[in-house]
Amino acid sequence: MSIQEMNVTKLELLDVSHEIISIDEETANRLALQSKNINKISLDILVNQKARLNEAEKSQATPIAQKVIIYMMLKMQEINELLSERKEQGKITCKTYIRYLIQAWYCSSHTPELQGKFHQRIAEYTQYFNEDKLKRGSKFIRMMESEADEEIGHEILALRDLEALGVQQFNIINDVFDESKKLINTQSSLLNQSNFIGFLGYSSYMEFLFAKYIDYQLKLLSEQGIPREAQTFLYNHFVIDLSHAGHDIELLNFFVDSDEIVTVINENIDVVHSLYKGILARAFN
Protein backbone atom coordinates (compact mmCIF):
# COMPACT_ATOMS: atom_id res chain seq x y z
CA MET A 1 0.00 0.00 0.00
CA SER A 2 1.33 3.45 -0.94
CA ILE A 3 1.66 6.36 1.51
CA GLN A 4 -1.14 8.14 -0.34
CA GLU A 5 -3.42 5.10 0.01
CA MET A 6 -2.57 4.87 3.72
CA ASN A 7 -3.44 8.55 4.24
CA VAL A 8 -6.75 8.22 2.40
CA THR A 9 -7.64 5.16 4.47
CA LYS A 10 -6.78 7.00 7.69
CA LEU A 11 -8.86 10.01 6.70
CA GLU A 12 -11.84 7.78 6.02
CA LEU A 13 -11.82 6.40 9.57
CA LEU A 14 -13.54 8.32 12.35
CA ASP A 15 -12.05 7.81 15.81
CA VAL A 16 -15.11 7.72 18.06
CA SER A 17 -13.50 8.62 21.39
CA HIS A 18 -11.40 11.40 19.82
CA GLU A 19 -14.48 12.89 18.19
CA ILE A 20 -16.35 12.83 21.51
CA ILE A 21 -13.63 14.57 23.53
CA SER A 22 -13.12 17.13 20.75
CA ILE A 23 -16.55 18.68 21.31
CA ASP A 24 -16.46 22.29 22.49
CA GLU A 25 -17.11 22.98 26.17
CA GLU A 26 -20.34 24.92 25.63
CA THR A 27 -21.94 22.11 23.65
CA ALA A 28 -20.69 19.48 26.11
CA ASN A 29 -22.21 21.39 29.03
CA ARG A 30 -25.49 21.87 27.16
CA LEU A 31 -25.74 18.16 26.39
CA ALA A 32 -24.93 17.23 29.99
CA LEU A 33 -27.64 19.54 31.35
CA GLN A 34 -30.12 18.36 28.74
CA SER A 35 -29.53 14.69 29.61
CA LYS A 36 -29.76 15.44 33.33
CA ASN A 37 -33.14 17.13 32.87
CA ILE A 38 -34.41 14.37 30.58
CA ASN A 39 -33.51 11.67 33.08
CA LYS A 40 -35.63 13.42 35.72
CA ILE A 41 -38.79 13.03 33.64
CA SER A 42 -40.98 10.16 34.82
CA LEU A 43 -42.67 7.61 32.59
CA ASP A 44 -46.08 8.90 33.71
CA ILE A 45 -45.23 12.38 32.44
CA LEU A 46 -44.13 10.98 29.07
CA VAL A 47 -47.33 8.93 28.77
CA ASN A 48 -49.41 12.04 29.50
CA GLN A 49 -47.44 14.11 26.99
CA LYS A 50 -48.02 11.51 24.30
CA ALA A 51 -51.74 11.42 25.08
CA ARG A 52 -51.92 15.22 24.82
CA LEU A 53 -50.09 15.10 21.49
CA ASN A 54 -52.55 12.54 20.14
CA GLU A 55 -55.44 14.74 21.25
CA ALA A 56 -53.83 17.88 19.79
CA GLU A 57 -53.61 16.24 16.38
CA LYS A 58 -57.40 15.91 16.36
CA SER A 59 -58.54 19.02 18.20
CA GLN A 60 -55.91 21.70 17.52
CA ALA A 61 -54.87 21.13 13.91
CA THR A 62 -56.78 23.08 11.27
CA PRO A 63 -58.63 21.00 8.66
CA ILE A 64 -56.02 21.79 6.02
CA ALA A 65 -53.09 21.08 8.36
CA GLN A 66 -54.68 17.73 9.17
CA LYS A 67 -54.20 16.76 5.52
CA VAL A 68 -50.47 16.80 6.23
CA ILE A 69 -50.67 15.15 9.66
CA ILE A 70 -52.95 12.31 8.55
CA TYR A 71 -50.72 11.67 5.55
CA MET A 72 -47.66 11.47 7.82
CA MET A 73 -49.35 9.10 10.24
CA LEU A 74 -50.31 6.69 7.46
CA LYS A 75 -46.70 6.59 6.30
CA MET A 76 -45.25 6.15 9.78
CA GLN A 77 -47.26 3.01 10.47
CA GLU A 78 -45.00 1.30 7.93
CA ILE A 79 -41.97 1.97 10.17
CA ASN A 80 -43.24 -0.14 13.06
CA GLU A 81 -44.40 -2.79 10.61
CA LEU A 82 -40.88 -2.98 9.18
CA LEU A 83 -39.30 -3.19 12.64
CA SER A 84 -41.75 -5.90 13.70
CA GLU A 85 -40.84 -7.84 10.59
CA ARG A 86 -37.13 -7.48 11.34
CA LYS A 87 -37.74 -8.61 14.92
CA GLU A 88 -39.43 -11.79 13.70
CA GLN A 89 -36.46 -12.38 11.39
CA GLY A 90 -34.04 -12.00 14.31
CA LYS A 91 -32.42 -8.94 12.74
CA ILE A 92 -32.70 -6.51 15.67
CA THR A 93 -29.20 -7.08 17.04
CA CYS A 94 -26.28 -5.12 18.45
CA LYS A 95 -24.54 -5.31 15.07
CA THR A 96 -27.50 -3.97 13.11
CA TYR A 97 -28.17 -1.27 15.73
CA ILE A 98 -24.57 -0.09 15.31
CA ARG A 99 -25.19 0.33 11.59
CA TYR A 100 -28.27 2.41 12.41
CA LEU A 101 -26.37 4.62 14.88
CA ILE A 102 -23.77 5.48 12.25
CA GLN A 103 -26.60 6.82 10.06
CA ALA A 104 -27.97 8.73 13.07
CA TRP A 105 -24.54 10.28 13.58
CA TYR A 106 -24.29 11.32 9.94
CA CYS A 107 -27.77 12.82 9.64
CA SER A 108 -27.56 14.61 13.01
CA SER A 109 -24.24 16.14 11.99
CA HIS A 110 -26.03 17.96 9.17
CA THR A 111 -29.30 18.81 10.93
CA PRO A 112 -28.26 22.20 12.42
CA GLU A 113 -27.09 23.45 9.02
CA LEU A 114 -30.38 22.42 7.38
CA GLN A 115 -32.43 24.04 10.13
CA GLY A 116 -30.40 27.23 9.95
CA LYS A 117 -30.97 27.50 6.21
CA PHE A 118 -34.69 26.86 6.66
CA HIS A 119 -35.01 29.57 9.31
CA GLN A 120 -33.27 32.00 6.97
CA ARG A 121 -35.65 31.19 4.11
CA ILE A 122 -38.68 31.43 6.42
CA ALA A 123 -37.53 34.84 7.69
CA GLU A 124 -37.36 36.08 4.10
CA TYR A 125 -40.72 34.48 3.28
CA THR A 126 -42.58 36.10 6.18
CA GLN A 127 -41.49 39.61 5.20
CA TYR A 128 -44.32 39.60 2.66
CA PHE A 129 -46.99 38.97 5.31
CA ASN A 130 -49.27 41.69 6.65
CA GLU A 131 -48.31 43.25 9.99
CA ASP A 132 -50.36 40.93 12.18
CA LYS A 133 -49.26 37.75 10.41
CA LEU A 134 -45.66 38.99 10.33
CA LYS A 135 -45.74 39.40 14.11
CA ARG A 136 -47.03 35.86 14.58
CA GLY A 137 -44.55 34.56 12.03
CA SER A 138 -41.67 36.15 13.93
CA LYS A 139 -42.81 34.33 17.06
CA PHE A 140 -42.69 31.00 15.26
CA ILE A 141 -39.23 31.72 13.87
CA ARG A 142 -37.93 32.41 17.39
CA MET A 143 -39.56 29.21 18.59
CA MET A 144 -37.97 27.19 15.78
CA GLU A 145 -34.56 28.70 16.45
CA SER A 146 -34.82 27.92 20.16
CA GLU A 147 -35.80 24.31 19.50
CA ALA A 148 -33.07 23.97 16.88
CA ASP A 149 -30.51 24.90 19.55
CA GLU A 150 -31.60 21.79 21.46
CA GLU A 151 -30.49 19.65 18.50
CA ILE A 152 -26.92 20.98 18.40
CA GLY A 153 -24.37 18.33 19.26
CA HIS A 154 -26.77 15.39 19.08
CA GLU A 155 -24.40 13.56 16.75
CA ILE A 156 -22.23 13.20 19.86
CA LEU A 157 -25.03 11.25 21.55
CA ALA A 158 -24.93 8.76 18.69
CA LEU A 159 -21.15 8.48 19.05
CA ARG A 160 -21.44 7.91 22.80
CA ASP A 161 -23.92 5.11 22.14
CA LEU A 162 -21.49 3.59 19.65
CA GLU A 163 -18.69 3.85 22.21
CA ALA A 164 -20.90 2.16 24.82
CA LEU A 165 -21.30 -0.72 22.37
CA GLY A 166 -17.54 -1.05 21.98
CA VAL A 167 -17.16 0.71 18.62
CA GLN A 168 -13.79 2.46 18.44
CA GLN A 169 -13.91 3.68 14.85
CA PHE A 170 -15.88 3.40 11.63
CA ASN A 171 -15.44 4.26 7.97
CA ILE A 172 -17.21 7.52 7.16
CA ILE A 173 -17.26 6.65 3.46
CA ASN A 174 -18.29 3.01 3.36
CA ASP A 175 -20.36 2.80 6.56
CA VAL A 176 -22.65 5.74 5.74
CA PHE A 177 -25.50 4.52 3.51
CA ASP A 178 -26.43 6.15 0.21
CA GLU A 179 -29.93 6.60 1.64
CA SER A 180 -28.52 8.72 4.48
CA LYS A 181 -26.55 10.89 2.07
CA LYS A 182 -29.58 11.28 -0.20
CA LEU A 183 -31.77 12.25 2.76
CA ILE A 184 -29.49 15.17 3.59
CA ASN A 185 -28.81 16.10 -0.04
CA THR A 186 -32.48 16.20 -1.03
CA GLN A 187 -33.34 18.49 1.88
CA SER A 188 -30.37 20.77 1.24
CA SER A 189 -31.38 21.03 -2.41
CA LEU A 190 -35.02 21.70 -1.51
CA LEU A 191 -34.02 24.63 0.68
CA ASN A 192 -32.46 26.30 -2.36
CA GLN A 193 -35.71 26.10 -4.33
CA SER A 194 -38.82 28.27 -4.43
CA ASN A 195 -40.89 25.48 -2.83
CA PHE A 196 -38.57 25.33 0.20
CA ILE A 197 -41.64 25.32 2.47
CA GLY A 198 -41.76 21.60 1.72
CA PHE A 199 -38.94 21.24 4.27
CA LEU A 200 -41.72 21.28 6.88
CA GLY A 201 -42.38 17.76 5.63
CA TYR A 202 -38.91 16.73 6.78
CA SER A 203 -38.90 18.48 10.16
CA SER A 204 -42.47 17.48 11.04
CA TYR A 205 -42.00 13.89 9.89
CA MET A 206 -38.85 13.34 11.93
CA GLU A 207 -40.20 14.96 15.09
CA PHE A 208 -43.57 13.21 14.95
CA LEU A 209 -41.83 9.91 14.19
CA PHE A 210 -39.55 10.15 17.22
CA ALA A 211 -42.32 11.45 19.47
CA LYS A 212 -44.88 8.78 18.58
CA TYR A 213 -43.06 5.73 17.29
CA ILE A 214 -39.46 5.59 18.50
CA ASP A 215 -40.49 4.13 21.86
CA TYR A 216 -41.33 0.91 20.01
CA GLN A 217 -37.80 0.76 18.60
CA LEU A 218 -36.41 1.37 22.09
CA LYS A 219 -38.53 -1.51 23.39
CA LEU A 220 -37.19 -3.86 20.71
CA LEU A 221 -33.60 -2.86 21.46
CA SER A 222 -34.07 -3.47 25.19
CA GLU A 223 -35.59 -6.88 24.48
CA GLN A 224 -32.41 -7.77 22.62
CA GLY A 225 -30.24 -6.81 25.58
CA ILE A 226 -29.02 -3.46 24.26
CA PRO A 227 -28.16 -1.51 27.46
CA ARG A 228 -30.00 1.71 28.28
CA GLU A 229 -26.72 3.68 28.23
CA ALA A 230 -26.39 2.78 24.54
CA GLN A 231 -29.85 4.15 23.69
CA THR A 232 -29.24 7.79 24.61
CA PHE A 233 -29.60 9.20 21.11
CA LEU A 234 -33.02 7.65 20.54
CA TYR A 235 -34.33 8.19 24.07
CA ASN A 236 -33.30 11.85 24.29
CA HIS A 237 -34.88 12.54 20.91
CA PHE A 238 -38.05 10.76 22.00
CA VAL A 239 -38.40 13.00 25.06
CA ILE A 240 -37.43 16.24 23.30
CA ASP A 241 -39.62 15.64 20.26
CA LEU A 242 -42.65 14.88 22.43
CA SER A 243 -42.66 18.60 23.23
CA HIS A 244 -41.53 19.78 19.80
CA ALA A 245 -44.23 17.86 17.89
CA GLY A 246 -46.96 19.94 19.51
CA HIS A 247 -45.26 23.05 18.19
CA ASP A 248 -45.11 21.43 14.75
CA ILE A 249 -48.90 21.42 14.77
CA GLU A 250 -48.82 25.18 15.39
CA LEU A 251 -46.33 25.65 12.55
CA LEU A 252 -48.45 23.63 10.15
CA ASN A 253 -51.55 25.58 11.19
CA PHE A 254 -49.73 28.82 10.44
CA PHE A 255 -47.93 28.01 7.19
CA VAL A 256 -50.25 25.49 5.52
CA ASP A 257 -52.92 27.73 4.04
CA SER A 258 -53.50 26.19 0.60
CA ASP A 259 -53.78 22.81 -1.09
CA GLU A 260 -50.69 23.71 -3.11
CA ILE A 261 -48.61 23.90 0.07
CA VAL A 262 -50.15 20.64 1.31
CA THR A 263 -49.01 19.00 -1.93
CA VAL A 264 -45.47 20.38 -1.66
CA ILE A 265 -45.10 19.23 1.96
CA ASN A 266 -46.64 15.81 1.36
CA GLU A 267 -44.41 15.23 -1.66
CA ASN A 268 -41.39 15.83 0.55
CA ILE A 269 -42.85 13.54 3.21
CA ASP A 270 -42.86 10.84 0.52
CA VAL A 271 -39.15 11.46 -0.13
CA VAL A 272 -38.19 11.55 3.56
CA HIS A 273 -40.26 8.50 4.45
CA SER A 274 -38.90 6.43 1.58
CA LEU A 275 -35.29 7.24 2.46
CA TYR A 276 -35.68 6.83 6.23
CA LYS A 277 -37.48 3.53 5.77
CA GLY A 278 -34.66 2.53 3.44
CA ILE A 279 -32.11 3.39 6.14
CA LEU A 280 -33.92 1.18 8.66
CA ALA A 281 -34.36 -1.67 6.19
CA ARG A 282 -30.68 -1.64 5.29
CA ALA A 283 -29.39 -1.18 8.85
CA PHE A 284 -31.52 -3.89 10.46
CA ASN A 285 -30.70 -6.55 7.88
CA distances from 105 to 178, 194, 262 (A): 14, 29, 30
Computed over every residue of the chain, the mean pLDDT equals 90
Task: Please tell me the chain's helix, strand, coil percentages from 3-state DSSP, rounded to the nearest 5.
Answer: 80, 0, 20
More confident residue, 132 or 49: 49
Q: How confident is the model at residue 11 (pLDDT cuts 50, 70, 90)?
A: confident
C-alpha angle with apex 248: 245 to 251, nearest 5 degrees? 165
Q: How confident is the model at residue 1 (pLDDT cuts 50, 70, 90)?
A: very low
Q: Which of 92-101, 135-144, 170-179 has the lowest mean pLDDT?
A: 135-144
CA-wise closest residue to 223 among 31, 86, 62: 86
> For residue 3, is pLDDT > 60?
no
Mention every residue, 6+ apart, whose C-beta is less than 8 A from residue 53. 211, 212, 242, 245, 246
pLDDT at 9: 60
> For residue 100, is pLDDT > 90?
yes
CA-wise closest residue to 232 among 128, 153, 130, 121: 153
| Residue-level length of the chain | 285
Q: Quick one: which H or E segment has residue 256?
A: none
Q: Which of 114-118, 135-139, 153-157, 265-269 has the lowest mean pLDDT?
A: 135-139
3-state secondary structure of 169: strand
CA distances from 273 to 35, 131, 135, 268, 276 (A): 28, 36, 33, 8, 5
Q: Rounded to a whole number, what is the largest CA-CA distance in the chain? A: 66
> For residue 86, is pLDDT > 60?
yes
> For residue 160, is pLDDT > 90?
yes
Decide: 183 and 279 in contact? Cβ < 8 Å: yes
> For residue 233, is pLDDT > 50?
yes
Count of CA atoms in the C-beta half-sphere (13 A) of 29: 3
Q: Rounded to two decimals, what is the model's pTM?
A: 0.91
> For residue 25, is pLDDT > 80?
yes
pLDDT at 36: 93
* 173-192 tens-digit pLDDT: 999 999 999 999 999 999 99
More confident residue, 35 or 134: 35
**Residue 259: what residue type?**
D
Domain spanning 3-283 has what CATH number? 1.20.910.10
- The C-alpha atoms of residue 278 and residue 53 are separated, in whole angstroms, by 27
* 186-217 tens-digit pLDDT: 999 999 999 999 999 999 999 999 999 999 99
More confident residue, 109 or 128: 109
pLDDT at 250: 87
Task: Enumerate the domain spans of the chain.
Answer: 3-283
Region 111-129: mean pLDDT is 85
- The C-alpha atoms of residue 144 and residue 11 are separated, in whole angstroms, by 35
